[in-house]
Amino acid sequence: MEPHQKGASIGRPPFLIGENYSHWKVRMQYFLKMQSEKVWNVVEFGWSPPKVLDREGRPTNVIKPKLEWNRGDNEASENNARAMYSIFNAISMDEFGRIATCTSTKEVWDILQVTHEGTNIVKVSKLQMLTSRFETIRMEDRENFGEFHAKLMNIVNSNFNLGESIPNSKVVRKILRSLPVRFRAKVTVIEESKDVDSLKVDELVGSLQTFEMTFGSPRKSKGIALNAIKDEYLGSECENDEKMLDGEVARFARKLKKYMKFKKYKKSKDDAKK
């Protein structure tokens, strides 16, 4: 681990580790904006050294000598330097090797983005995969709602980081139709009492978490249900066993009665012969 690979703070940028790029990108954007909107602008729109103007006021290909820079030229250069320095302190030496020769923060940003997100073709492929995951994800019976919500929001945030936001109403409807049977009554109440299209995700999440806390965790509920089924099954078995035993005793009694009658009849017949 490198010396500056620590948690971010107001004065320290978030550190980029390969697998956390999507989160780093958002956090770094706001870290740069916190310095000033102009600092972020040089990342978004780029910066290049000012050029000498021709007689008609159009820029030429000749870089203006620094001694001739005006206040705006110097401010733009300083903003570019601030952004570059912030990113340099947020990456490893391996990452630095990719962007060491860059002079524009936008160039640095674009290289890191292509390195970790891929080209536009790769981004489209990732978005298609995320769309498929969003459509197919369901809350499992063994999960609690918090686990399902975390997985779903990871997909939503990954879409956002790739430049495609999923509307709030679509996320709300996805949650409602992805819940297991134990939430069915709650879903019905929500759909009948609220405007689903204007319902906020956070409001829905809070309502469902409260519902789950009230009725217990899925594992506990499942255990209680299994015990109830087991007791019912065992009780039914015992009742059936008792009925079977009573039936066998009754059949044996009938057979014994017939046998005793037969014995009595035979004895009477033998006595008559004597």
pLDDT-wise least confident of 61-65, 85-89, 212-216, 247-251: 247-251
More confident residue, 215 or 135: 135
Taking 60 as the threshold, does the pLDDT of residue 26 lie above it?
yes
Taking 90 as the threshold, does the pLDDT of residue 241 lie above it?
no
C-beta of residue 158 within 8 angstroms of C-beta of residue 131: no
Q: Which ranges of the chain would DSSP assign to H, the alpha helix?
A: 21-35, 37-45, 71-88, 93-99, 105-117, 120-136, 145-161, 168-177, 184-193, 201-215, 218-273
Domain boundaries, the chain: 18-117, 120-215, 217-274
- For 208, phi then psi, to 5°, come to -70, -35
In the chain, the percentage of residues whose pLDDT exceeds 70 is 75
pLDDT tens digit sequence for 150-170? 999 999 998 988 888 999 999
**Average pLDDT of the residues in 129-156:** 95
* Angle at which helices 105-117 and 71-88 cross, to 10°: 30
In the chain, the percentage of residues whose pLDDT exceeds 90 is 62
Q: Is the overall model pTM greater than 0.75, yes or no?
A: no
> What pLDDT band is residue 262 in, cutting at 50, 70 and 90?
low
Nearest in space to 190 (alpha carbons), one of 179, 202, 199, 181: 199
Taking 90 as the threshold, does the pLDDT of residue 78 lie above it?
yes
> What pLDDT band is residue 18 in, cutting at 50, 70 and 90?
confident
More confident residue, 127 or 3: 127
Which amino acid makes up residue 200? K
**Average pLDDT of the residues in 65-70:** 94
- Name every residue whose Cβ is closer than 8 Å to that of residue 173 and which is 6 or more positions away in sequence: 196
Taking 80 as the threshold, does the pLDDT of residue 231 lie above it?
no
DSSP category for residue 143: S
**Average pLDDT of the residues in 52-63:** 91
More confident residue, 83 or 224: 83
Hey, which of 110-119, 137-146, 217-226, 229-238 has the most confident mean pLDDT?
A: 137-146
**Average pLDDT of the residues in 235-263:** 54
C-beta of residue 175 within 8 angstroms of C-beta of residue 201: yes
pLDDT-wise least confident of 136-145, 156-165, 250-259: 250-259
Look at residue 12 and give its three-state secondary structure.
Answer: strand
What the block records as the tokens of 243 is: 């009925």
